[in-house]
Structure formats: C-alpha cells, structure tokens
C-alpha cells in the first residue's frame, strides 16, 4: 500500500497513477482541493485499482498521524510513502521573514520527518518498506534566490540517508528523487508563504530549456517512473541514494 502526498496534480498525481498501474493500492493526499484528489482516485479505480482520497496538512504532526491511521484502516498499512508535497518560493534570503522560513521548513522538510516517523513502526515490523522524498535542484545550488528552499531540500537528503543507515538492517529503504525542470502547471509560490490567498498559475518560462543538456522539459511521468523503481523489488539493494531526473541539468 502506497501513500503519496501532494498527489492532486502534477508530479504527485503522476506518481500516484504510476504506483497504481503497478498494482499498488494508493492513498492520495492533498491539503484542501478534494476535487483533484477524487479525480485521481477515479482514474485509479476506473483502471481496476484501489485508492483513497485523504485531506491532511502534512506539516501538522497530528494530522499526519491521523492520516496514516485512517489509510491503514481503509487500505492496509503503508509499505511505500512518497513525501512529495512542497512549496518553493524563490526570493533573496534577506527578504524572508521568520514566519516564511518556518513555513517552508514545515512543508518541505518537517513533513517528511512526520511521515517517516509514522510509517516506520509497521515497516520495521514487516521487515520491508520504501520511503521516498522528492527533493529539487535547489539543494545542489543550481537555482537562483532559493537558499531557503535549498536548506529544506538538502535536509531531505540528509534525513533519507540517516533513515537508510539506521533502518537498512531492518529491511527499510530510503531514497531521494530530484526532479529537474518538469513540464507542470506552475504556480506563484510566493502566495503560499505570504498568506495572500490561492496562488495563481504563472506562464511557463521557455528559457528554462536552454541550460538543459537534453534541451527539453521532463514529464511528470518520468519522475513517477523513478519513484516506481525505488518502490519496487527491483530497487531492493538501493538505499540512501539520490536519483536525478533532470535531463542532465545536474551531474554528480
């Protein structure tokens, strides 16, 4: 059974659909847009799968614990969790307020900690499990005005490596997927931290393609494929790793 956060649209939606296509029951999480979640659930169920929409704020530990319990009761204990929900406001560090810093950390980093803590007891008992965090290029210093997001996304890498080291002997794997520039519906991220209301869709900046060796944007399904691999038995000896899906924009 898989739980995917931020699964109502874009990359999270593709991940949920990708896992369902491989036979997983999927809990589809989002913050407030239930219609988006129910659409993903319908797509999964129309293809013969099982899915559950779950509204929860993953930056709230009590809501995370409640969500994991609800999912376990409806679909079974969580064997795969993908921490995908995130906000990515880009602006100079000196322009961030304390509240904005805390908001980014709570959604981008704290949520992965709460989720991991909630699902690990079952995974340890079962002797298997896969935890996947979605990071970003900001963590590798290739995004302008993204120091705050970089701190949170780099923290995800450290968190997953720590879990991989501590829980590997118990059969639990933890890895990171780092998308590059992906062809998604893009929103004004500043609204998430400023409290200015629902974020607006912003036009695609086609110049993003210029510095990508493959000279194109990636597709959400390509990120999803990486997550499906890391969730599968094919990745049974892969843990503590960061898998870049970015068309060569960053090369380790």
**252 within a domain of the structure (yes/no):** no
Domain that holds residue 123: 2-245
For CA atoms 8, 10, 12, 13, the dihedral sign is positive
**63 within a domain of the structure (yes/no):** yes
Least confident of 167-176, 191-200, 209-218: 191-200
Which residues, in sequence order, are bridge partners of residue 29?
A: 54
For residue 189, what pLDDT is reported? 46
Least confident of 97-106, 147-156, 208-217, 239-248: 208-217
Residues 164-195 have pLDDT tens digits of: 999 999 999 999 999 999 998 765 445 544 45
Least confident of 128-132, 147-151, 198-202: 198-202
For residue 247, what pLDDT is reported? 87
**In the predicted model, is pLDDT for residue 157 greater than 60?**
yes
**159 within a domain of the structure (yes/no):** yes
Query: Phi and psi dihedrals of 174, rounded to 5?
Result: -140, 125
**250 within a domain of the structure (yes/no):** no
Q: How many domains does the chain have?
A: 1
Query: Phi and psi dihedrals of 28, rounded to 5?
Result: -105, 110
Residue with tokens 């995130």: 86
Look over the chain and give the mean of its residue pLDDT values, rounded to a whole number.
Answer: 91
**211 within a domain of the structure (yes/no):** yes
Least confident of 56-70, 117-131, 187-201, 232-246: 187-201
Q: How far apart are CA 95 and CA 104, in angstroms?
A: 14
**120 within a domain of the structure (yes/no):** yes
Answer yes or no: are the C-beta atoms of 176 and 135 closer than 8 Å. Answer: yes
Identify the CATH number of the domain in which residue 158 sits: 3.40.50.720
**118 within a domain of the structure (yes/no):** yes
Which residues, in sequence order, are bridge partners of residue 53?
A: 28
For residue 185, what pLDDT is reported? 76
Q: How far apart are CA 35 and CA 43, in angstroms?
A: 12
Least confident of 13-27, 135-149, 177-191: 177-191
**251 within a domain of the structure (yes/no):** no
């Amino acid at each position: 059974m898989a739980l995917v956060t931020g699964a109502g649209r874009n990359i999270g939606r593709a991940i949920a659909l990708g896992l369902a296509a491989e036979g997983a029951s999927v809990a589809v999480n989002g913050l407030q847009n239930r219609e988006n979640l129910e659409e993903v659930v319908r797509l999964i169920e129309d293809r013969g799968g099982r899915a559950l929409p779950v509204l929860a704020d993953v930056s709230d530990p009590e809501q995370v614990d409640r969500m994991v319990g609800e999912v376990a009761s409806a679909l079974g204990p969580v064997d795969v969790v993908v921490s995908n929900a995130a906000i990515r406001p880009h602006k100079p560090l000196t322009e961030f307020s304390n509240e904005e810093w805390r908001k980014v950390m709570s959604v981008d980093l704290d949520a992965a900690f709460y989720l991991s803590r909630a699902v690990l007891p079952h995974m340890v008992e079962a002797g298997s499990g896969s935890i996947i965090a979605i990071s970003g290029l900001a963590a590798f210093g290739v995004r302008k005005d993204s120091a705050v997001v970089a701190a949170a996304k780099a923290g995800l890498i450290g968190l997953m490596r720590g879990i991989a080291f501590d829980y590997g002997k118990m059969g639990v794997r933890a890895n990171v997927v780092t998308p590059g520039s992906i062809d998604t519906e893009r929103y004004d991220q500043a609204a998430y931290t400023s409290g200015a209301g629902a974020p607006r869709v912003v036009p695609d900046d086609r110049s993003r393609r210029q510095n990508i060796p493959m000279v194109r944007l990636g597709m959400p399904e390509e990120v999803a494929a990486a997550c499906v691999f890391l969730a599968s038995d094919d990745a049974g000896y892969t843990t503590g790793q960061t898998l870049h899906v970015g068309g060569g924009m960053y090369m380790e």
